Amino acid sequence: MSSALIRCFVAIDIFSPEIVRAVRAVQQELLESGIVGKPVDPESLHITLIFLGELEPPIVERVKERLMGLEAGQMRLVLRGVGYFPGGSRINIVWVGVEDTENRLAAVQREVTSRVSALGFKPDKDFTPHITIIRVKGVRNKSGVLSKISQLSSHFIGEVVVNSVKLKKSTLTPQGPIYEDLYVYGPNPSA
């Protein structure tokens, strides 16, 4: 009998009441401009450092162990600008940009990647710090949507201070993903 696979990633959670309000307002503007899609719950915002995929429980434990002692330190991040992936005329994901003036976020991401690479994990793309805010299913008014995204390309969302990294579980549901912290690395690590 095989164990159920666990969909995992390593991330930094972003949460503050001000950020939640600002993201909700931007999501509403974008949906009104013609995006058809699923807004991400603003109380579940995060920066993915590396997506690990669906893992067997013993591998999750090995990842947890490889990340032991990881210290993110305190990072001040500025959330500014709205953009989309993959680019050009295709809009699959709408995101908010993350500015890291001290380059600490990139250093933490490299450290996480280095630690899990010993287990065979490699990033599937270059690290572009962002926070997904809408998963797009379609667009009713492409020129209007692109214009709105352009208007918001340098829009200030807020600032946040973070100091922990999390190994997270993602359970996909029809209502959207449900996230659960498997382990917290930082000043108050999980027991």
pLDDT 10s digits, 29-44: 999 999 999 999 998 9
Give per-residue pLDDT as tens, 59-81: 999 999 999 999 888 999 999 99
- Per-residue tokens: 124: 């599937």
Q: Which amino acid is at 137?
A: K
d(CA 22, CA 4): 37
For residue 47, what pLDDT is reported? 97
For residue 190, what pLDDT is reported? 61
- Just list the catalytic residues: 46, 130
- What are the φ and ψ backbone dihedral angles of 188, each rounded to 5 degrees? -125, 70
For residue 114, what pLDDT is reported? 96
Half-sphere exposure in the Cβ direction for 127 (13 Å, CA): 23
The closest alpha carbon to 13, from 54, 50, 48, 41, belongs to 48
pTM: 0.92
DSSP type of residue 120: T
For residue 89, what pLDDT is reported? 86
For residue 1, what pLDDT is reported? 41
For residue 169, what pLDDT is reported? 97
Identify the band that residue 2 occupies on the pLDDT scale cut at 50, 70 and 90.
Answer: low
The closest alpha carbon to 84, from 129, 149, 35, 34, belongs to 149
d(CA 190, CA 139): 42
The larger pLDDT score, comparing residue 189 to residue 133, is at 133
If phi > 0 it is left, if psi is from -120 to 50 it is alpha, else beta; for residue 186 that is left
Give per-residue pLDDT as tens, 79-131: 999 999 998 889 999 999 999 988 899 999 999 999 999 999 988 788 999 99
pLDDT at 27 over 90: yes
How much is the average pLDDT of 54-59?
Answer: 96
Residue 118's CB: how many other CB atoms inside 10 A?
Answer: 9
Q: Please, which residues bridge with residue 184 across strands?
A: 166
d(CA 139, CA 58): 42
Q: Does CATH place domain 6-185 in 3.90.1140.10?
A: yes
